[in-house]
């Protein structure tokens, strides 16, 4: 069904709108600021518009930071072996990269060890056999990157073997973390921005460490922090944490710095493959979300995360090109295998009447594709989805993707008696259960109290109507300045009416997309692209009000384009 939108008629801050207009903002953008902008998290309108350094907080405010820095400084002075234990998603890879370079810069000629678990054979987090292995290798300090909060028992084992474990993570603990030397986590201890990604926490740790060793304003501290902002932008956007407050400030700084980055994976590879710098294109969250993150994730989804880590941290051009090309190949293979998986006749789908959930038995061993499969079905059915695959031990391993207003973590907590383990967030989670317990799991879900979710679904809305005067580069430039856009700071959605349809055609490899050219009453011409709207081409013949987002298109030439998402209800 063609998505339909209604105008957002909620009360808004008139003072904020008038102030934004007085600062030169177009009325439609001033309206969006007054309705949607996260002004409270940014210290008011000025803080939101200017993204001032005041939004960046003292890293020593984080829980456990003083102990973590003290132990790491001592280990570096003694040249004790330090191991970075990371996660294999983009946030974990980015956090591991920040710790890797931060520790190397902290101590000349020191080389930390890095361990990235295998998704298929080891899963997330520390395991007892790995702790024993690290002990045999003489590791004295383990610093986790975007993980650790679910490894309380393994950390106690490490402590008993004389290994100090410093946890840098942003997930909530599943148990008391009594064995850790320090837990650096923004969700503990009242830190001002509890929504930091794992890479943000790692960045704060390196900031505190280098400040302690060399001074806040030393060249080594400042240059390392500036260069590591590239990783912060990539990991934060990829992990879909709220882009408000401190996160928004760091992502903005990182995206800006990526244009002149010294890191070879950007300077010598992606800057040339992704951007039309000759047309003035700059990095934005969309480059991370739609291009970088899928390629970095593809390696661990199909094999191992190591090619992605080496790509992010290699300094030799030939190595960067080799690993970058590997990631391209992995990504193409991922697309092919996901397509095959989605069309498989062996999948069994369980639907529930009491809760907005679908459980998919994939009857597959494609563990790394379950999150993508769940996301795809969630988008298709507007329901939360749990996709299950079989691991080498014969257990069922699932990835869950949620919807607004339905908490996956709470759901899995309520049926935890049927699971071996689980964890995650309201909108994304993971689980593991014995295959013979699947019927019990399905039954437990069926017996849950009904959730009146249908009544909670809010209509899709747009901010306000545009006219031909808004369809300019100046308008788009002003809008881009309100970013970076992402979770809890979504790109403005507007509606456009009173236009003449000049041309329309289906485009794309499978004719699934719709391309329009329109002329507004002011005489302004505009190209429109509707991804996935090709099947509704007849409904656009009557020139209904178009709803979407204005952005630049850099294909061939730079031009303003409306990315249509649906139509306005009249």
Q: Is 70 exceeded by the pLDDT of residue 454?
A: no
The number of CA neighbours under 13 Å toward the Cβ of 77 is 9
Do the Cβ atoms of 259 and 276 come closer than 8 Å? no
Distance (Å, whole) CA 118 – CA 134 = 16
Q: What is the pLDDT of residue 41?
A: 83
Provide the 10 A C-beta neighbour count for residue 186: 23
Distance (Å, whole) CA 367 – CA 373 = 10
Which residue from 242, 34, 231 is spatially nearest to 146, judged by alpha carbons?
231
Do the Cβ atoms of 91 and 101 come closer than 8 Å? no
Q: What is the pLDDT of residue 521?
A: 84
Average pLDDT over residues 466-479: 90
493 falls in which pLDDT band (50, 70, 90)? very high
Q: Is 90 exceeded by the pLDDT of residue 329?
A: yes
DSSP E strand stretches across 78-223: 82-86, 113-115, 141-145, 164-168, 182-184
Residue 60 falls in which region: left (phi positive, over 0), alpha (psi -120 to 50) or beta: alpha
Q: Mind listing the pLDDT tens digit for each residue in 214-241?
A: 999 999 999 999 999 999 999 999 999 9
Q: What is the mean pLDDT of the chain?
A: 93
Task: Please state, for a pLDDT cut of 90, what percent of the chain lies above it.
Answer: 80
DSSP E strand stretches across 150-203: 164-168, 182-184
CA distances to 231, 336, 349, 391 from 361, in Å: 36, 20, 6, 13
DSSP E strand stretches across 234-356: 348-351
Task: Please state, for a pLDDT cut of 70, what percent of the chain lies above it.
Answer: 99
Between 174 and 350, the more confident residue is 350
Distance (Å, whole) CA 498 – CA 521 = 6
455 falls in which pLDDT band (50, 70, 90)? very low
Q: Is 60 exceeded by the pLDDT of residue 458?
A: yes
Q: For the residues of 523-546, what is the DSSP string, one character each?
A: S-EEEEEETT-GGGGGGGTT-PPE
Q: Is 80 exceeded by the pLDDT of residue 68?
A: yes
Domain 4-36+460-568 part of CATH 2.40.50: yes
Residue 287 falls in which region: left (phi positive, over 0), alpha (psi -120 to 50) or beta: alpha
Between 458 and 516, the more confident residue is 516
The matching CATH number, chosen from 3.30.70.260, 1.10.10.10, 3.10.310.30, 1.20.1510.10, for 354-449 is 3.10.310.30
Q: What is the pLDDT of residue 120?
A: 87
Between 141 and 42, the more confident residue is 141
Average pLDDT over residues 493-501: 94
Which residue from 387, 366, 367, 368 is spatially nearest to 376, judged by alpha carbons?
387
Domain 59-258 part of CATH 3.90.1640.30: yes
Q: What is the pLDDT of residue 245?
A: 94
Q: Is 80 exceeded by the pLDDT of residue 404?
A: no
Provide the 10 A C-beta neighbour count for residue 280: 10
| Residue 461, helix vs strand vs coil | strand
Average pLDDT over residues 105-117: 95
Distance (Å, whole) CA 119 – CA 301 = 7
Instruction: Please tell me the chain's helix, strand, coil percentages from 3-state DSSP, rounded to the nearest 5.
Output: 45, 20, 35
Q: Is 60 exceeded by the pLDDT of residue 293?
A: yes
Domain ranges of the chain: 4-36+460-568, 59-258, 354-449
Average pLDDT over residues 48-61: 93
What is the value of pTM for the model shown?
A: 0.93
Average pLDDT over residues 187-212: 97
379 falls in which pLDDT band (50, 70, 90)? confident
Please list, in sequence order, all residues whose beta carbon lies within 8 angstroms of the beta carbon of residue 1, skipping any fewer than 6 positions away.
Answer: none
Average pLDDT over residues 177-181: 96
Going 102 to 106 to 111 to 116, the CA torsion angle's sign is negative
| Beta strands across the sheet bearing 357-361 | 348-351, 357-361, 384-390, 396-401, 428-433, 421-424
Do the Cβ atoms of 145 and 87 come closer than 8 Å? yes
Distance (Å, whole) CA 173 – CA 320 = 36
| Residue 445, helix vs strand vs coil | helix
Average pLDDT over residues 24-44: 91
């Amino acid at each position: 069904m063609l998505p339909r939108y209604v105008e957002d008629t909620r009360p808004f801050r008139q003072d904020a709108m008038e102030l934004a207009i007085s600062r030169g903002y177009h009325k439609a953008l001033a309206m969006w600021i007054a309705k949607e902008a996260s002004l409270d998290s940014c210290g008011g309108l000025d803080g939101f518009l200017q993204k001032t350094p005041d939004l960046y907080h003292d890293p020593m405010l984080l829980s456990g930071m003083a102990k973590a820095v003290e132990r790491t400084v001592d280990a570096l002075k003694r040249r004790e072996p330090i191991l970075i234990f990371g996660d294999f998603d983009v946030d974990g890879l980015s956090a591991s990269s920040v710790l890797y370079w931060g520790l190397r810069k902290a101590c000349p000629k020191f080389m930390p060890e890095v361990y990235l678990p295998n998704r298929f054979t080891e899963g997330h987090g520390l395991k007892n056999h790995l702790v024993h292995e690290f002990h045999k290798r003489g590791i004295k300090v383990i610093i986790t990157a975007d993980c650790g909060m679910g490894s309380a028992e393994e950390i106690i084992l490490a402590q008993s073997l004389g290994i100090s474990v410093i946890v840098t993570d942003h997930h909530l603990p599943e148990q008391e973390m009594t064995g850790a030397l320090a837990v650096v986590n923004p969700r503990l201890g009242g830190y001002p921005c509890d929504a930091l990604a794992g890479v943000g926490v790692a960045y704060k740790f390196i900031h505190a460490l280098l400040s302690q060793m060399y001074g806040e304003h030393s060249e080594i501290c400042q240059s390392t922090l500036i260069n590591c902002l590239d990783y912060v932008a990539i990991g934060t956007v990829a992990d879909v944490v709220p882009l408000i407050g401190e996160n928004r400030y760091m992502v903005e700084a990182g995206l800006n710095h990526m244009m002149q980055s010294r890191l070879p994976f950007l300077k010598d590879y992606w800057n040339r493959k992704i951007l039309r710098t000759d047309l003035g294109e700059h990095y934005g969250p969309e480059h991370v979300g739609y291009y970088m993150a899928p390629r970095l994730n593809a390696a661990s989804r199909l094999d191992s995360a190591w090619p992605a880590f080496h790509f992010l941290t290699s300094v030799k051009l030939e190595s960067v090109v080799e690993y970058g090309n590997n990631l391209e190949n992995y990504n193409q293979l991922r697309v092919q295998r996901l397509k095959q998986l989605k069309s498989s006749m062996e999948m069994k789908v369980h639907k529930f009447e009491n809760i907005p959930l679908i459980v998919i038995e994939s009857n597959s061993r494609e563990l790394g594709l379950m999150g993508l499969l769940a996301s795809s079905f969630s988008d298709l059915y507007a329901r939360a989805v749990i996709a299950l695959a079989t691991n080498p031990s014969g257990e069922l391993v699932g990835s869950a993707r949620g919807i607004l207003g339905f908490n996956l973590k709470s759901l899995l907590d309520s049926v935890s008696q049927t699971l071996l383990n689980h964890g995650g967030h309201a909108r994304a989670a993971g689980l593991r259960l014995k295959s013979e317990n699947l019927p019990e799991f399905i039954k437990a879900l069926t017996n849950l109290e009904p959730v009146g979710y249908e009544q909670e679904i809010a209509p899709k809305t747009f901010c306000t109507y545009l006219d031909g005067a808004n369809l300019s580069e100046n308008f788009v430039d002003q809008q881009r300045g309100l970013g970076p856009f992402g979770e809890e700071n979504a790109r403005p959605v507007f509606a456009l009416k009173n236009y003449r349809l000049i041309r329309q055609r289906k485009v794309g490899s499978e004719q699934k997309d719709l391309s329009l050219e329109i002329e507004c009453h002011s005489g302004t011409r505009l190209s429109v692209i509707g991804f996935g709207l090709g099947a509704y081409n007849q409904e656009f013949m009557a020139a209904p009000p178009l709803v979407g987002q204005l952005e630049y298109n850099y294909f061939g030439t730079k031009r303003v384009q409306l990315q249509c998402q649906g139509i306005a209800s009249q």
